[in-house]
Amino acid sequence: QSALTQPASVSGSPGRSITISCTGTSSDIGGYNFVSWYQHHPGKAPKLITYDVTKRPSGVSNRFSGSKSGNTASLTISGLQAEDEADYYCCSYETGRTWVFGGGTKLTVL
Amino acid sequence: EVQLVQSGAEVKKPGESLKISCKGSGYTFTNYWIGWVRQMPGKGLEWMAIIYPGDSDTRYSPSFQGQVTISADKSISTAYLQWSSLKASDTAMYYCARKPDGSNWFDPWGQGTLVTVSS
């Protein structure tokens, strides 16, 4: 069980779009459509922003969207806003009936 | 409102035991899983273990199997994470999070419990 691979940091200007990748294996991301993404502002509880690859919980902005191709999942944030600046984590169900997180990506809004 | 409220920060010495808690409210506690997640200082989230309070079914990440024990008391809607002998490397923030049965996502999360282990 190894952590999923995410870029350590990404940045973008307000109003633009960014995409964060999350790479795993056929035993996790590639084998199941059970990827979720979490937004984590330091000092606060993590927040679910997408689940089952593409679904959004009620109340989450449609600026957040998830996708997957093969062993790589992605989170796209469009129309960047200052409050989007946070750490983002992917998570996938994996064979063995457990779950695994990505290493996290720090988003900076320039 | 669905809430998970965790116990307060702890400062312990190496070798001591510890049990931290996560109390659920606003929903039927026995119908949802409770997972535990570690965040070491300056590091990312790590999935540790999960329990289904309805029947105490548990699963552990191989990285944490044997290092911690999870349990739940459904009479008081509370899940626990415990250590029998803490190490300095257990210093971290620990979060609990709810998972609907049959799903693969965690929501909501508790506010976190900071555990500091230092001699």
pLDDT in tens, A16-64: 999 999 999 999 999 999 999 999 999 999 999 999 999 999 999 999 9
Per-residue model confidence (pLDDT) at position A2: 80
Computed over every residue of chain B, the mean pLDDT equals: 97
Interface test with A, best of B5, B40, B45 (most A CBs within 10 A): B45
Mean pLDDT of B67-93: 97
Half-sphere exposure in the Cβ direction for B90 (13 Å, CA): 27
Reported as a single tens digit per residue, the pLDDT across A87-97 is: 999 999 998 88
H/E run at residue A23: strand A18-23
Mean pLDDT of B54-82: 96
Q: What is the DSSP string of B69-112?
A: EEEEEGGGTEEEEEESS--GGG-EEEEEEEEETT-----SB---
Mean pLDDT of B62-71: 96
Contact B54, B74 (CB under 8 A): yes
Kindly state whether A3 is in contact with chain B, defined as any CB-CB distance less than 8 angstroms: yes
Residues of B in contact with A52 (CB under 8 A): 103-105
Kindly state whether A57 is in contact with chain B, defined as any CB-CB distance less than 8 angstroms: yes
Beta strands at A72-77 and A64-69: parallel, antiparallel or unpaired: antiparallel
Phi-psi sector, B59: left (phi>0), alpha (psi -120 to 50), beta? beta
Determine whether the interchain pair B104/A101 forms a contact, defined as Cβ–Cβ distance below 8 Å.
Answer: no
Q: Does residue A1 surpass a pLDDT of 90?
A: no
Mean pLDDT of B60-82: 97
- Residue of A105, A47, A99 lying closest to A76 (CA atoms): A105
The three-state secondary structure class of B31 is helix
Kindly state whether A106 is in contact with chain B, defined as any CB-CB distance less than 8 angstroms: no
Contact B97, B108 (CB under 8 A): yes
Per-residue model confidence (pLDDT) at position A96: 82
Interface of B with A (CB under 8 A): 35, 37, 44-47, 50, 59-63, 95, 97, 103-112
